[in-house]
Structure 1
Amino acid sequence: MAEYRFFDRDISWLSFNERVLMEAEDQSLPLMERIRFLSIYSSNLDEFYRVRMPVLQKKAGGAQSDRIFEQASSIIDIQQNRYGEVLVNSIIPELDTLGFHFCYREKIPDILLPRVNEYFFSQVAGLMQPVFLDSGNVVFPENNMLYLAVILNLEPGGERLALVNVPTNHISRFYKVRSENQDYILFLEDIIKQNLKSLFPTAVNIQAYNIKVTRDAELDLVDEDGEDITEKFEKQLNKRDLGYATRFLYQPGLPPRHLKNIIDTLDLKSTSVVAGGEHHNLKDLASLPIWDASLSYPRRDAVNPLKSDNQTNTLFEKLADRDILVHPPYQRYDTVLRFFNEAAIDPTVQEIYTTMYRVAHDSKIALALISAARNGKQVTVLLELKARFDEANNIHWGKKMKSAGVKIVHSVNALKIHAKLALVKRKHETLPFLGLFATGNLNESTARFYTDHVLLTANQPMLAESERLFLFLRKKKKPEITDVIPFQHLLVAQFNLQTRFLALIDREIAHANQGLPSGITIKLNNLEEEVMISKLYEASNAGVQINLIVRSICRIVPGLPTQSEHITVRRIVDRYLEHGRVFIFHNNGAPEIFMGSTDWMNRNIYRRIEVCFPIYDDNLKHELMHLISLQMEDTAKAVLIDRNLTNKRFDQSEKGVASQEAIYQYLSGSASSDH
C-alpha cells in the first residue's frame, strides 16, 4: 500500500461535532432548533467520552497516541468555550427578549423563593439521598447522573464532605415558574442547592458544586447460546453503568483539597478530570419547557410516495408492476409499515424474514410480526442484541415476539447483523418473493428525522439471494472462506462487498486511463477503512473525479497533490440527520447505483453483516441521482472539508441551496395532487 495520509478517526469525529455546534451558532435558525443543536452537541460529547475516550486512554503511552489524546482534549476545550459563548451571549439573551428568563449561572431571584421552596418539599425532597464521603460507605456515582459535592462547615465539628443526588431520572431537569409577567426557568440542582439547609440542618455554612462522572460503555460479552442468552445479556447491561470512569466533570471553584478528596474517595485517579461549566448534562436543554411552534422549524408534512393511480390495489399488487423507492422522512413511512401489515394478513404469505437492529419503542413493525406469527405464518427475526444503547429495548421486543411464536435469532458476539432487509415468501407461481432493502433501521420513530432510502421490490433474483443470506444467518455462525454464496446482485460484507466495491472503482480507473468518462459519487455516514480510501486515492491519481458526502468520521484527506487532487468532501448538517448510504459509479455513461446499510469503516467491512443493493429501475435511478445532485449543489447547509479537516462554509453573500428543503420540494412536486 502506498504511503498515503489519513485523518485520525477521533479527531475527524470531533470535527463533525464542531459542525453540529456551528448550527447552534447560526442565528438564522429558529431559537429552539439552535438550542436542540446545543443539546445534540452535548449528547454527542457524552457518548464520545463513554465510547472513544476509553480507547484513547488505553492507547496512551506512545508518542503518537499521547499526541492524539492531547489533541482531542484540546479540541474539546476549544469547542466547549464556543458552546458557552453561544449559550451565554446569544441563546439566553434571545430567550429573555421572548419573556423566558433562564436562570443560568445566577442566583434564584428572591421573589421566587416561596414557590421554589414549596416545589422542593412537595416534589423533590422525597427523592433526596445525601451521603457523607467520610462515612466509610461505598459511594458509586452513576454514569452521567448529576450530583452536588457539598462542603459543610459544622463548627465546632469542622468540615465534612457530602454527595447529594440530583434526581433527573425521576423528575424534570427544569422548573418553570411565572412571576410578574415573566417566565423563569430554573435548574433542578439550583433548587436543591437553595434547600440544602433542610438536608443538613446543623451546618453553619454550606457550599455546593455540580459534578458528574462519565463511565465506559463497553460490554464484556462472550459468545454463548441457549434459552437464557438474553438474561445473560441483561446482566451485562446492568453492569454497563458500573464501568470504569472515563471523565470526572466538576464545577469551577471547587477548592483543590476537596477536589482531591473526591477523586481519592470515588477512585477517580486514572480518570480525565475536567473543569466544566457551572451546569452539566446540557443535553437536557432540548427539554426546556418552552412550547412555542414559532421557535421551531415550520411543520413539514411527509409526502405519500405511492402514486394516485390504482389506489385500491394492495402494496403487494403494486410491487408486481414496479419497484418502489421511499425516501423518509420526506416521504411517509406508512408504505414500509404497510409492507409488514399486508404480510401479516395476506393468506398467500407463508414465511416472513426480517432483520431488526434498533427496534422502535412502540414498534408497529414488531406488532405486525407478532400478528403474522399468530396468524400461522413462519416468522423469523434476526434481532441484534448489541445495538449500542438500544439493547434493553431490543431485548424487551425480542421476548415479546418470541412469546407470540416468532423465531428470534441473535447474532454471535463477534459478528453484528447490521443489514436492513426483509423478505416475504408466499404461494405464487411467478412472484413467490417480495421484499425490501433499506439504508436505515426498520424503525418508524427514527424515520421521522433520519434521511434514508427504502427499496421495495419483487425482483426475484435479488430476493432469492436475500433468502440464501437469511438461511445462512439463521445458522448463527461467522462466515468462513469455505462459505460461498453466489451473490450476483447483492453486495454482502463478509462475502463479496469489499471485493465488488474495489472492482467498481478499478473499472472507473480503467475508463480514466482509456480517456473515457469516469466518476464516483459516494454518500456515507463514516469513511474510515484504509483499503477503500487508498483505492479512492489511486482513482484520484488516475484522474477520476470523486465527490464524497460524509456526515461524520472521515479519514480521507482531500485536495492533496499526488494523492487526492480530484477528491472533494462535503458534510451536510440540517434539520434531519443525514443517514443514507449511496454509491454511484459513472461507468462510461451507464451509471451503476448501489445503496445499503454499510459505511466504509473497519467494523462494517470486517466484523458485520452488511448488505448493499443495486437500483435497476431507470426512473428510480434518475430520481436518486437528482436527489444526490441537489446535495452536491448545497451551499447553505453543506460545508467543504479541506486538507486541514476544517469545516469550510460556502460564500453566503448570495442565498444558497439548502438541499433538504430542495429535496422536499422536489418530492412534493413529483407526488400526486391528492397528497
Structure 2
Amino acid sequence: MRLDFLTHHDFMNRELSWMAFNERVLALSQDAGQPLLERANFLSITQSNFDEWYMVRMADLIRDIQAGDDKKDPAGMTPQQQMNAVRHAIRKQLRHQYQSYEALKVALSNVHLPILPVADLKAHDRVAVRQIFQQTIQPQLTLKTMDATSLSEVSNGTINFVVGHTGDADWTTFALPAATPRFIRVPGPNIRFVTTTDVMTTYMADLATNLADKQVYQFRILQDMSIPILPKSTTDVVDAIQAEVDKRATAPAINLTVSAQMPAELKRHLQQVLGVDRLHVFKVKGPLAYDFVTELNDLLKQEGQAAEFAFLHYHPYQPHQVKALAGTDIFDNIVAQDYLVHHPYDSYDAVLNFFQQAAHDDTVSEIGISIYRVSHDSPIVAALTQAAQAGKRVVALVEIKARFDEPNNLKLVDTLQAAGVTVFTSFPVMKVHAKMAYVVRDGRTIVHLGTGNYNDKTAHFYTDFGLFTADEHMAADVRRVFAYVTGQAS
C-alpha cells in the first residue's frame, strides 16, 4: 500500500499519543462510576506507566537532542519540538494525578477509610503511631551527610529525604527503603491510615537530636534505563544485553521530582550534583509518586477486612471453561476444529492445559514456543522443563530484549537450558513480540497463536485472543516463522 500521499498532518506524535493514553487511564481513576479501590489501582498504574515511559522513551529523546539530531518524526516534529510539547503535557498530567489523589482521599474518607495527616490525630494516637515508627521503620534508615557521594547512591524511583536549614553547610539525607510499607494503620477500633512519609517528617527528631526543628523535603529520581539497539555485528546477544542491564545501577539520572516547598537553592543544588537538566526537574504538591496507593488493598487483607470492603472492587468474574480444551483430549479436539478463545472471559486454563498435556502426552515429540514475558513461577515454563527432561525436543525463543524483563528472561534462558531446552534469542536488531507455540503430535503440527503474553498471572485481567488450530497452512507458517527467527531458515 502506498502511503506517500500522507503528510505530517495525518500523524500524531508518538510521545504525545502515549501521554494521551496515560490521561485516559488517569481519567478512570477520577471516574466516580468505577469502584473506589479500582480507581486507586488506576492511579497507581499511571505512575508505573509514566516511570517506564520516562526511563526509556524520554531517555531516548534526551539522547537525540544531545546528539544534535533534528530529524523530524512522521508528525513533522523535531526531537526538541517533541520535548517542548511533552514537557507541557507532563506538567498537566502531574497536576491531574494530584487532583485525583486528593479526590480519592475524600472518597475513601466517605467509606470510613480515611488517610489522615499525623497532625490531625489525637495525642494518644500520635503516641501509638510514633511507637510503630520507632520500632518498625527507624531501624531501617541510614542517615548520611548530603554530598556527591551520598547522592550518587540514590536509587532509581525511591523516595529520599533531605533535612536541614537554608544556609546550613551540612544537610542530612536518607532513603525510604523500597520494601517499607507506605501506609501505617492507626491503632484503634476504626480504620484510619497515615502515610509513612508524613510520619517520618513529623518525627524526624527521633532519628537524631540534631534534626529537631529542621526543614524536611523529599526528592525522587528516575534514571536512564533505555537499552540501545544492538549493532548487527553483535555476536553474543545474551552477553551484550547482560552488559547493558548491569549498567543500569549506575545509569545517569534524567528526572528529578521534588517537594513543592523545597527552596530553589536546594533544588538547584540537587539538580547540579545529580546531573539532571533543569528542564527535567519538577516540583509537585502531594506525594512524589502514586504507585503506593494500591497498598491499601494489602493492608485491608492483612487486617482481615478485605471482604467487608469487597464492594470497593470489581465483582469477581468466573471465566468460562472451554470443555473441549480442558481435558486430555485437547489435541484431538483441536484437530477436529479450530477454537478461538477470548481471555479473561474464556479461562486461560486452556492455554496451560495445551502445554501440560504436551509435556505428558507420549505421542508428542516436539514443542516450540516464543516467550516475551512469563510469570515468576510459570506453569508453562514448568511444563516445558518437564517435557525436555522427559526426552522431548523443546525449542524456546526467549526475547531477552523485553523491556524491564531483561533480567528475568536472562535467568529464564539459564533455567531452560539447564533442563535441556534448546533456547534461541532473537537477532540483535529485531525484537520478537509474537506469541506463538506449536506441538508436534503423531507427525502433525498443532499450534496456538495469541495476542497476549504466555503469562498466567496477567491473563486474568488483560484482554487477549488466542487461536488453537491444526490447519496445515497455518501450522506451516508458524514453523517457517520459528525457522526464521531462530536463524534456521534456509
Q: Same fold (TM over 0.5)?
A: yes
For 1:23, the equivalent position in structure 2 comes to: 28
For 2:311, the equivalent position in structure 1 comes to: 294
3-state SS, counterpart of residue 327 of structure 1: strand
- Superposition map of 1:303-342 within 5 A: 303-306=320-323, 314-342=329-357
1:2 to 2, 5, 13: 5
- Superposition map of 1:353-502 within 5 A: 353-428=368-443, 432-475=444-487
1:270 Cα deviation after fit: 5.6
Contact in 1 for aligned 2:427/2:485 (Cα 8 Å): no
Task: Give the residue type in structure 1 aligned to 2:251.
Answer: G
3-state SS, counterpart of residue 182 of structure 1: coil
Contact in 1 for aligned 2:43/2:97 (Cα 8 Å): yes
1:48 Cα deviation after fit: 2.2
3-state SS, counterpart of residue 345 of structure 2: coil
1:308-352 CA deviation, whole Å, 9 max, x = no partner? 9xx866101111210111111011011111111111011111111
C-alpha distance in 2, partners of 1:17/1:137? 34
Contact in 1 for aligned 2:128/2:187 (Cα 8 Å): no
For 1:573, the equivalent position in structure 2 comes to: none
C-alpha distance in 2, partners of 1:204/1:441? 52
C-alpha spacing 1:138/1:312, structure 2 compared with 1 (3 Å): closer
C-alpha distance in 1, partners of 2:282/2:30? 24
2:208 to 193, 200, 204: 200
Structure 1 stretches lacking a partner, 5+ long:
477-482, 485-675
C-alpha distance in 2, partners of 1:271/1:130? 29
1:160 aligns with 2:157: no
C-alpha distance in 2, partners of 1:107/1:250? 24
1:537-589 CA deviation, whole Å, 9 max, x = no partner? xxxxxxxxxxxxxxxxxxxxxxxxxxxxxxxxxxxxxxxxxxxxxxxxxxxxx
1:111-150 CA deviation, whole Å, 9 max, x = no partner? 3222222222322222212211248656332111110121
C-alpha spacing 1:46/1:136, structure 2 compared with 1 (3 Å): closer
C-alpha spacing 1:388/1:349, structure 2 compared with 1 (3 Å): same
C-alpha distance in 2, partners of 1:135/1:469? 51
1:238-275 CA deviation, whole Å, 9 max, x = no partner? 32243222210000111112222222222324660101
C-alpha distance in 2, partners of 1:283/1:444? 23
Task: Give the residue type in structure 2 aligned to 1:294.
Answer: F
1:360 Cα deviation after fit: 1.4
1:115 aligns with 2:131: no
1:215 aligns with 2:229: no
Contact in 1 for aligned 2:439/2:445 (Cα 8 Å): yes
For 1:533, the equivalent position in structure 2 comes to: none
Contact in 2 for aligned 1:219/1:240 (Cα 8 Å): no
- What value does the CA root-mean-square deviation take over the aligned residues? 2.5
- Superposition map of 1:566-581 within 5 A: none
Contact in 1 for aligned 2:118/2:202 (Cα 8 Å): no
1:171-206 CA deviation, whole Å, 9 max, x = no partner? 222221233x43222222222223322333234531
1:439-489 CA deviation, whole Å, 9 max, x = no partner? 11111111111111111111122212222222232227xxxxxx88xxxxx
For 2:186, the equivalent position in structure 1 comes to: 177
Task: Name the TM-score, length of structure 1 as normaliser.
Answer: 0.65
1:398 Cα deviation after fit: 2.0
For 1:563, the equivalent position in structure 2 comes to: none
1:418 Cα deviation after fit: 1.3
3-state SS, counterpart of residue 205 of structure 1: coil
C-alpha spacing 1:173/1:38, structure 2 compared with 1 (3 Å): same
1:103 aligns with 2:112: no
Contact in 2 for aligned 1:143/1:213 (Cα 8 Å): yes
3-state SS, counterpart of residue 377 of structure 2: coil
For 2:74, the equivalent position in structure 1 comes to: none
3-state SS, counterpart of residue 372 of structure 1: helix
1:110 Cα deviation after fit: 3.7
C-alpha distance in 2, partners of 1:18/1:293? 27
Higher-helix-fraction structure: 2
Task: Give the residue type in structure 2 aligned to 1:418.
Answer: H
Identity score, percent: 28
Contact in 2 for aligned 1:153/1:160 (Cα 8 Å): no
3-state SS, counterpart of residue 434 of structure 2: coil
1:187-233 CA deviation, whole Å, 9 max, x = no partner? 2222222332233323453111111001111125566455xx64653
C-alpha distance in 2, partners of 1:177/1:341? 47
Contact in 2 for aligned 1:212/1:248 (Cα 8 Å): yes
3-state SS, counterpart of residue 397 of structure 2: strand
Task: Give the residue type in structure 1 aligned to 2:181.
Answer: S
C-alpha distance in 2, partners of 1:134/1:361? 38
1:35 aligns with 2:40: yes
Contact in 2 for aligned 1:117/1:195 (Cα 8 Å): yes
C-alpha distance in 2, partners of 1:87/1:303? 36
3-state SS, counterpart of residue 175 of structure 2: strand
For 2:61, the equivalent position in structure 1 comes to: 56
C-alpha distance in 2, partners of 1:256/1:373? 61
Higher-strand-fraction structure: 1
Task: Give the residue type in structure 1 aligned to 2:183.
Answer: F
1:273 aligns with 2:285: no
C-alpha distance in 1, partners of 2:334/2:266? 68
3-state SS, counterpart of residue 152 of structure 2: coil
Contact in 1 for aligned 2:328/2:357 (Cα 8 Å): no
3-state SS, counterpart of residue 160 of structure 1: coil
C-alpha distance in 2, partners of 1:241/1:411? 25
1:248 aligns with 2:261: no
1:5-34 CA deviation, whole Å, 9 max, x = no partner? 211111111111111111111111111111
Task: Name the TM-score, length of structure 2 as normaliser.
Answer: 0.88
Task: Give the residue type in structure 1 aligned to 2:241.
Answer: F
